[in-house]
Amino acid sequence: MKLQTYIDIPRPPFQIEPREKMLFVGSCFADSIGQRFREEQFRATVNPYGTMYNPASVLHSVERFFAQSEEEVTGAPRVVFLTLGTNHVYRLNETGEIVDNCQKRPQRLFTEERLTVDECADYLRQTVEVLRRQRSDVQVVLTVSPIRYQKYGFHESQLSKATLILAVDQLISQDGREASSLASPPSTLHYFPAYEIVLDELRDYRFYKEDMLHPSAQAVEYIWERIADLYLSPAARQFLEEWRPVKEALAHRPFHPDSEQYQAFLRQVQERKARLEKKYGPLG
The confidence score (pLDDT) of residue 137 equals 92
Kindly report the CA angle at 21 between 17 and 23, in degrees rounded to 5?
120
Asked whether residue 87 is domain-assigned, the answer is yes
DSSP 69-100: -TTTS-S--SEEEEEE--SEEEEETTT-PEES
The confidence score (pLDDT) of residue 256 equals 77
The confidence score (pLDDT) of residue 71 equals 45
The confidence score (pLDDT) of residue 101 equals 87
β 139-144/79-84 pair status: parallel
174 in the same domain as 104: yes
The total domain count for the chain is: 2
Asked whether residue 12 is domain-assigned, the answer is no
* Pick from 132, 88, 130, 125: nearest CA to 110: 88
Backbone angles phi, psi at 93, to 5 degrees: -60, -35
- What are the CA-CA distances from residue 8 to residues 169, 176, 201, 254 (Å)? 17, 20, 11, 43
Residue 159 belongs to domain with CATH number: 3.40.50.1110
175 in the same domain as 267: no
**DSSP label at 12?**
P
137 in the same domain as 178: yes
Asked whether residue 45 is domain-assigned, the answer is yes
131 in the same domain as 37: yes
247 in the same domain as 228: no
β 110-114/98-99 pair status: unpaired
Give the span between the Cα atoms of 108 and 113, in whole angstroms: 14
41 in the same domain as 182: yes
The confidence score (pLDDT) of residue 74 equals 57
The confidence score (pLDDT) of residue 179 equals 79
The confidence score (pLDDT) of residue 222 equals 94
Domain housing 255: 243-280
- Residues pairing with 166 in the sheet: none
251 in the same domain as 228: no
Burial environment of residue 140 by CB neighbours within 10 A (0 to 12, 13 to 18, 19 or more) = buried
| Average pLDDT for runs of 10 along the chain of length 284 | 84 95 95 95 96 97 84 77 97 95 90 97 97 94 92 91 98 89 79 95 90 90 95 96 89 80 85 89 84
265 in the same domain as 162: no
Asked whether residue 11 is domain-assigned, the answer is no
Burial environment of residue 125 by CB neighbours within 10 A (0 to 12, 13 to 18, 19 or more) = middle
